[in-house]
Amino acid sequence: MPTTSPFRMNPSLGPNLWQVVRASQTNGVWYEGSRQIVSPQLGDSAHGDDGHYYVFVKATGAIAAAASPGTQVTVTEPAMTAAAGAGGFYAPNSSVMPTALAAGDCFWARRGTL
């Protein structure tokens, strides 16, 4: 797993930009502020130090692992779900996440263009 880049340029709590929160994980919740707002929420966005835009999404089905840049996904609003398809966003590549994503896994989808 990479250790230094990409990282979020806008401060917020939660998984880093290459971290996947598996559907089976129960400890993947972070809180921000005195109102105890769960972070990140599906649809939250971040800009990475690599210049790319990221959005936090949930997989609706299996998404195969692929070499860089990763498997292309389509993000569906307003549910902020992702499925394999020609949508211009990418799931984490196989050097970051060597196994397929499963339905219910949450991850930062990276927009392919700057």
Distance CA 98, CA 73 (A): 17
Taking 70 as the threshold, does the pLDDT of residue 33 lie above it?
Answer: no
Residue 44 inside a domain? The answer is: yes
CB 90 within 8 A of CB 66: no
Distance CA 83, CA 26 (A): 23
Residue type, 15: P
Residue 6 inside a domain? The answer is: no
pLDDT of the residue at 15 = 82
Residue 73 inside a domain? The answer is: yes
Taking 80 as the threshold, does the pLDDT of residue 3 lie above it?
Answer: no
Q: Which domain holds residue 42?
A: 30-111
**Please, what is the average pLDDT of the chain?**
86
CB 84 within 8 A of CB 109: no
Q: Which residue has the tokens 């394999």?
A: 84
Residue 31 CA: distances (Å) to CA of 39, 43, 49, 84, 113: 6, 16, 23, 30, 31
DSSP 42: T
pLDDT of the residue at 104 = 94
Residue 39 inside a domain? The answer is: yes
* Range among 10-24, 29-43, 71-85 rated most confident: 71-85
When divided into structural domains, the chain yields a total of 1
CB 105 within 8 A of CB 82: no
Residue 16 inside a domain? The answer is: no
Percent of the chain topping pLDDT 90: 55
Residue type, 29: V
Its pTM stands at 0.86
Comparing 2-6, 37-41, 88-92, which segment has the lowest mean pLDDT? 2-6
Taking 50 as the threshold, does the pLDDT of residue 1 lie above it?
Answer: no
Taking 70 as the threshold, does the pLDDT of residue 94 lie above it?
Answer: yes
pLDDT of the residue at 32 = 67
